[in-house]
Structure 1
Amino acid sequence: MSLQISILTPERPFWTGQADEIILPTETGEMGVLKNHAPIITGLDVGAMLIRTKEEWNSYAIMGGFALVKQNQVTILANEAQSSVSIDPEEAKNAFESAKLSLEKAEGIKEKVEANFLYKRAKARYQVVKATKKL
């Protein structure tokens, strides 16, 4: 293993371990981190995060936050995080489809912003469940 990863949420330390690679949902797109990555601080968007250990890929839904990469350590301060194994696939699919419809029907700025936020959260959870099936 080459990266030491710590994922922290306001409630508790969410996950700590070593990995070979991590893919983060940043505000400017997905960002991969391997051993000896240049130091960086980046904002995290709501989305799917993937962590590759020697044995497998694991997927997590991250609900925004920040990531610090420095000297083969990745520290993630997430507003909320959820593991793919804790998400019911059928519930995630239904929530995603419902959020998508709500976003399409939203009128007015406030309603569109709220619907978009719920859509992004539901999409992240659904992506994580779908990614687990592919991995």
Structure 2
Amino acid sequence: MKTLTVSVVTPDGPVMEDSFDMVSCKAEYGELGILPGHIPLVAPLTISAVRLKRGNDVERIAVSGGFLEVRPDKVTILAQSAEKPSEIDVDRAQESKTRAESRLQTKQDNIDFQRAELALKRAMNRLDITR
């Protein structure tokens, strides 16, 4: 059976490289499912989980935006940050979520709501893939 080589890279270096049967991720314009032989594609990613399927097993990686490059036999994810569930500090992610929620509930003019919303999305994404 054909597989895809998947590389996940951040500014800090490579996060993983392995072979998988399918890649599912959320681009800015919708959900993408990539199988071997897919047409070449470049798409911006949102803050979401990337699902990597091999047989009946599914691995997930939390990404905070970036880009997806697809070639017929290789998928490269260039992410601002990427974490495997085992690398996530759940307590710290929960604290980030609580802090972002309290900022969004504040009615002060000096609060950057867009930044707080992004922080909340990142924290929720990190918590979701650890479950």
User: Which band: TM-score by shorter chain?
Assistant: 0.7 to 0.9
Deviating 4+ runs (over 2 angstroms): 88-110
Give the equivalent residue in structure 2 for 1:71: 72
By how many angstroms is 1:127 displaced? 1.6
Equivalent residues of 2:103, 2:111 under 8 A apart: no
What TM-score, normalized by structure 2, do the two folds share?
A: 0.86
**Aligned counterparts of 2:9 and 2:61: Cα–Cα separation in 1:** 13
**Aligned counterparts of 2:37 and 2:107: Cα–Cα separation in 1:** 45
By how many angstroms is 1:109 displaced? 8.5
Identity, % of aligned positions: 28
CA distance change for structure 1 residues 16 and 91 in 2, over 3 Å: closer, same or farther? same
Give the equivalent residue in structure 2 for 1:61: 62
Give 5+ residue unaligned stretches, structure 2. none
Matched, 1:2 2:11: no
Give the equivalent residue in structure 2 for 1:14: 15
**Aligned counterparts of 1:70 and 1:117: Cα–Cα separation in 2:** 30
By how many angstroms is 1:57 displaced? 0.7
By how many angstroms is 1:103 displaced? 2.3
Give the equivalent residue in structure 2 for 1:124: 125
What value does the CA root-mean-square deviation take over the aligned residues? 2.0
Equivalent residues of 1:22, 1:51 under 8 A apart: yes
Residues 53-106 of structure 1: per-residue CA shift (max 9 Å, x gap):
125111111011111111121011111101011123444344334423322336
Higher helix content, 1 or 2: 1
What TM-score, normalized by structure 1, do the two folds share?
A: 0.83
**Aligned counterparts of 2:14 and 2:117: Cα–Cα separation in 1:** 28
Mapping for residues 87-126 of structure 1, pairs under 5 Å: 87-105=88-106, 107-108=108-109, 111-126=112-127
Q: Matched residue of 2:130: which SS?
A: helix
Give the equivalent residue in structure 2 for 1:48: 49
Give 5+ residue unaligned stretches, structure 1. 131-135
Question: How many residue pairs get matched?
Answer: 130
